[in-house]
Structures are given as structure tokens and as C-alpha cells.
Amino acid sequence: MSGKLRVLPLGGLGEIGKNMTVIEQDGKIVVIDTGLMFPTADMLGIDLVLPDFDYLRGRADDVEAIVITHGHEDHIGALPYVIRELFPEETPPVYAAPLTAEMARSKLEEHKLLDAVEVIERDCLEPWDAGPFSLELVHVSHSIPDACGVVVGTDHGSIFLTGDYKFDQTPVDGQPTDMSRLAELGSEGLLLLCGDSTNADRAGIAPSESSIGPHLEEAFARCEGRILVTSFASNIHRVQQVIDASVVHGRKIALIGRSMRRNFAIGRKLGHIYAPDGMVIKPKEIDDYPDDEVCVICTGSQGEPLSALRRMANNDHGQITLHSGDTVMFSASPVPGNERAVNETIDRLFHIGATVVTAKDAPIHASGHGYREELKMMINLTKPKYVMPIHGDFQRLVLHSRLAEEVGIDPDDIFRMENGLPLEIDENGARVGDRVKSGMIFVDGLEVGDVEDVALRDRRMLSNDGVFIVVATVSEQSGEAIGDPEVIFRGVPFMDDADDMLDDLKITVGTSIADLAKKVKNSEGVAESELREKLHNDVARFVYERTKRRPMVLPVIVEV
């Protein structure tokens, strides 16, 4: 038997999003999923959040394959960045089921990387080899077609990463989770189960996706004006059910949001979406039809700042303006951490006069993740020796661990891990290894930022207390001030005595320069950096004493 096997989560543990897991044996690596996460409210100006994949830098030749379980952003969204940052020359093949593979190609093409990457489609139960590993996809039900778990065969035994799943007995596409293959894994002897923990806090069994269609039709029947339905762009089954409800009620559909249009086209191409001829209209044609004959399907269910619905709620969308009489249906639930952004969007919609319907008001959404009884079923079917909960915040990881205990897994064989903490397995058993670097990488525009992003810290400071810019002109020879300093401020909350404060501040600046000018006269010499540092400290101290705030202070020295 070869050396130890390592299972290293780089994302998805202690959080919801940016899922990425590294499996390593004999120095060779398979990467399962390359997901991203959307920024939280305090990540000012950040567009996307990626897992820190620094562990893989310089090891391009060791990566035998990248496998994507399904097409949701928290599993596939970081793929172009991983390819560009880690594999400047030769790229390992990317494997996925057909729909996921097509979505991967679309993302890579958008980043002009498609020619550099071989994306290979694999059908479920079709095993293949990648270095020392054997790989196999197993079909699972989720809120997107072609969702799969991944079996990774190693010298020490098989690992099963479930991906996102539920045991939906009546899925929209008629393909339930492959329970027979899961049971075979159990009878063959599964070494390790890495299971989705998203709904470990919800009792019972998740509602079937097919139950949503009739409820959407009922909700449509109560609407007299335009209907806007927002959902995940990748939830192709849900988009189809909205189309079906629109057909029943004689409404045209318009797709708004780039990802919504792109995924609709991919789903239609592969036969996952059907819309009658002439039913789909362009956004600019919406006003050509009566309000009661239009349904808009759009992005923005998570309150993303630049999404279509968020811009509509802020009256900042170029193609559609919301008004009283519109009904907006949220056919999705907020991902943990997005509640604030979603609530802000809903509040803006109410202010406009629209009617808002959420999953709390009507059963128009079903989670794609299994509830507690389904997590137990997964463990009972696969009968793993070891269990490692993944895909969840710490609360859900702990709850999933307790479920494993309830169904008979020895507590010593259950591993509650963290990002950057590897599970190591050899002939002597399993144990937690030494921590490696992990965390977040920020995407800001076209730049992939450092994990410790100084720009983000500065943005937080600016958003809280504003900025002071002090421009002082001094004599290069004597070090004395020439004229009055110029003080510019932005975003600083001033009191009524702002003018008096500025006058006093100029005196403070003058005093700082005069103090240092004495050193020049005494031939001690003063570097520009020393003058800048003293100006910064004196101005910061003065402003705090007067405002009890700590704005950013930027001193500028002009020598003449």
C-alpha cells in the first residue's frame, strides 16, 4: 500500500460557498469543485470571493484532474481564476456531466481560456482513471440537472463526495438520486463520506421540486399585473416551471440578467428547457404587451449589488422600470449571510409599490439540499468507515456530525474539519494533519487580490470615517511653510463649527511644519518622510479630539 492519503478542504467548511477540496496520494492530486462566494456587506467594492488555493501554486504538474459536481456558482464559479492563476502552461483536464461541462465551457470562453482547457463530459457510472486515482460520477437530485457526487478510488479505499443532493422521489426531470449505486458503495466498503451539511438544521425531508409547479400556477392566478420571478440563474428546473405556469396563464416571458439568458440558452440547447415558439420576447418588447400578459424571469434572488432585480429595485435598470401593480416572486431562499441584502431589496420593492411574494408567503421554493432525515439516509446507504461533514457553516457541520453519531458512526471516526486542515489516512487509521494556508482571495474588477487585501481595509476606513487630505507647500532650503496649507475632506461628518475647525486645523499643520523647520535651521536635516509622518500624526490627533472619529489622513508635501 502507498503512503498516506490526504483530503484537504480549501473552501466550503465554516461557510456556505467557495467549495473546493483537494485529494492527494503519492504526490498526485485531484481537485473536486472550484467554487466562489459572493461578497458580504463589509467587503466594500469586492466583486467575488475565491478560496485561497495557494497550496496548489507551483504544483501544476501534480494535478491530474479537476472534477466539477454541478453548475452552481459555489462549485464552478472560480474555475476560470483557478485555471489562469495555477496553470499558466499545461492545464489538467476538467471533468463534469454534460450540462455542467457546457457551463464550464461557457465560463472559460468568457475569460478567453477555453482553447487552453480540455473539458471532458462524463456520464454517471462511467469510471475513468486519473493518475493513481479512479473516478466516477454518481447522479444525485438537486436544483439543477446533471448534479453528481464523485467517487474517488484510492489505494486506501474509496472516498465519496456527495456534492449538493437531496432524495427527491419525484424530481422534475424524472431522475432521482441513484440510491442503488449508493447502496453498492456501502456494500463494497466506503472509506470516507464527505457529505453536504447545508440543511443539517432542518428536520424531516425536503419538499420535492415537482411540488413547486402547481403552487407557482396558483400564485400566478392571483396576479393581475406584470409578474417578475427571481431565482438562481442555474436553477433550470425552476425556470422551466415558471415557463409552464406562464403558458397556463397566457403570459409571454422575458429573460433579464446575463447569467439567466446564458443558462437558458444552454438548457434549451441540451433539452432541459422547453418554451413554445414565439413565447420568449426581448426585454425591450415588454412594454408592447399588456401587463397581465408578461412574466419576467430575472437574476437577483440573493440581493447581489449588480443583479437585475437589485437594479430594478433601485430604479437603475435600463430595460425595465417597476411600478405599482407589479408582483415580484422570490422563488429562492437567502443563502446564509445574504439575508440583509435580500431584505434591503424587498424593502425597496415595497417602497416602489410592488407586491412581494416569498417562500414564507407561498410554497414557491423548495431547497435543493436534503434535510436531516436525508442526511441520515445517505450515511446509512453508504456505510462509511469515516465521516467528514462539508459544505456548511460550523453550526451545520456540528449538527451533521451529531446525525452521524445518531446512526451509529463512532464519534472517533467523525472529523469536524476546517478549511486548510487536512484529514490524513493510512494503514494506521485517520487523523487530523498539520494546517496549511487557507482563507479568501478577493476579485476586484479584473484583479485577483492578495488574501490580506490592504485596499479592502482602506475602503472600510473610508466608508466609516471619510478622508482628510492635507497639502502643505514648504521651502526646500529652510523647511518653512510657504502660504497656508490646503485641507480637502470627503465623507467626514462635520459639526456646525466646520469653518472654525478648519482654521484650527491649518494652525495645527503650520505648527507641525514650524517644529520641523527648526531642525533644518539647526542643520539636523529633515527627510520628507519624517515631515509626512509628523503631519499625519498631528492631524489625526487633532481630528480625533474634535470629532471622536479616525478618518484616513493623507498628507501631501510639495517642496519648492
Check residue 257 and report its DSSP letter.
S
CB-CB contact of 9 with 421 (8 Å) = yes
Sequence-separated (6 or more) residues with CB below 8 Å from residue 447: none
Q: Please give the full DSSP string across 402-448, using - where no structure is assigned.
A: HHHHHTT--GGGB----TT--EEEETTEEEE-------EEEEETTEE
Phi and psi at 5, nearest 5°, equal: -100, 135
Annotated catalytic residue within 146, 196, 326, 465: 196
Question: Which sign, positive or negative, has the C-alpha torsion 220, 364, 15, 136?
Answer: negative
Annotated catalytic residue within 142, 365, 369, 391: 369
Cell 430595460, residue? 319
Give first-to-last CA distance, the chain, whole Å: 75
Q: How far apart are CA 275 and CA 278, in angstroms?
A: 8
156 given a catalytic annotation: no
Provide the grid cell at 211.
Answer: 411540488
Sequence-separated (6 or more) residues with CB below 8 Å from residue 64: 28, 29, 30, 92, 130, 131, 132, 133
Question: Residue 131 CA to chain centroid, in angstroms?
Answer: 30
Cell 452521524, residue? 404
CB-CB contact of 433 with 423 (8 Å) = yes
> What residues are paired with 448 via a beta bridge?
443
Question: Which sign, positive or negative, has the C-alpha torsion 44, 46, 51, 55?
Answer: negative
Sequence-separated (6 or more) residues with CB below 8 Å from residue 258: 299
115, 98, 103: which is closest to 34 by C-alpha? 103
196 given a catalytic annotation: yes
Residues carrying an active site annotation: 196, 369
